[in-house]
Amino acid sequence: MSASNPLVRVEPLAPSFAAVAGQWAQRLGLPQELAEAEFALQVGEAGLQLQLLEAQAPGPVRVDFVEGAAAHRRQFGGGSGQMIAKAVGIQPGIRPRVLDATAGLGRDAFVLATLGCEVSLIERQPLIAALLEDGLSRAAADADVAIIAARMRLLKGNAIELMQHWQGEPPQVVYLDPMFPHRDKSALVKKEMRLFRPFVGDDLDAPALLAAALELASHRVVVKRPRKAPAIDGAKPGYSLEGKSSRYDIYPKKKLQA
């Protein structure tokens, strides 16, 4: 993984959030006063958010499973006809247990949980994991979304190590979406990539991630790639599902049964 260590400070957006900001700063080992900070992890009415501190910076990024894009996709996203649903093997009577080993902002995991899958999420970057934790706790407090959030379990740390030392029943499906120069032209994705690339870089350990996933998954591994990108080095996918901008490479091990 190639990433720098950008300077980050934690700040409350109002005096009433000072105590919570102090707790996050302590947990993440970050300063609250840092004039030369490049980013601010802000605590406010809407929860936790990450803001780039420069002229003309895009607005903050946060994890929101209750409103906005996640709510729209929950209501109008196409249900089990979505390509991601087909990729992980969702069928009538089949809702596999999924491990999303590269969780990011949890969007794909939330879609799968919405469709009825139990999903474990792994995120290794502490700031992104904090945004996820905050988003999940707000989702758990919302009457409409709590039942979906209850199917999501966040694990923090290095996905390769966590998969190699997995405790308990293995996931039926391991889902990977390694950081890659995505071709997605949407403004939202561009904004997030600009914010997160300094923290996470590109996943140069994708082949090791795939190898660990193939070792752990009981039924299949699914890798999301930009449509024209090569498959990850290592085992060859059994087949692929192709969409407009992305592709799902599927590595089958065993048939999913109802």
Binding residues: 107-108, 123-124, 177
Treating both helix axes as pointing N-terminal to C-terminal, what angle do 187-200 and 126-140 enclose, rounded to 10 degrees? 130
Length of the chain: 258
Q: Give the 3-state DSSP-derived string for 82-110, with helices as H, strands as E and coil as C.
A: CHHHHHHCCECCECCCEEECCCCCCHHHH
Edge-first strand listing for the sheet containing 246-252: 152-156, 119-123, 98-100, 173-176, 220-226, 246-252, 239-242
HSE-CB of 156 using CA atoms within 13 angstroms: 10
Angle, helices 18-28 vs 126-140, to 10°: value is: 140
The secondary structure of residue 169, as a DSSP letter, is S
Contact in structure between 208 and 160 (CB atoms under 8 Å) = yes
Is residue 33 a contact partner of residue 11, using CB atoms and an 8 Å limit?
Answer: no
> From CA 152, how far away is CA 72, in angstroms rounded?
19
Binding residue ranges for S-adenosyl-L-methionine: 107-108, 123-124, 177
Q: Are 132 and 152 in contact (CB under 8 A)?
A: no
Q: Which two tokens stand for residue 254?
A: 């065993």
Q: What is the dihedral of CA 199, 205, 208, 209, to 10 degrees?
A: 30
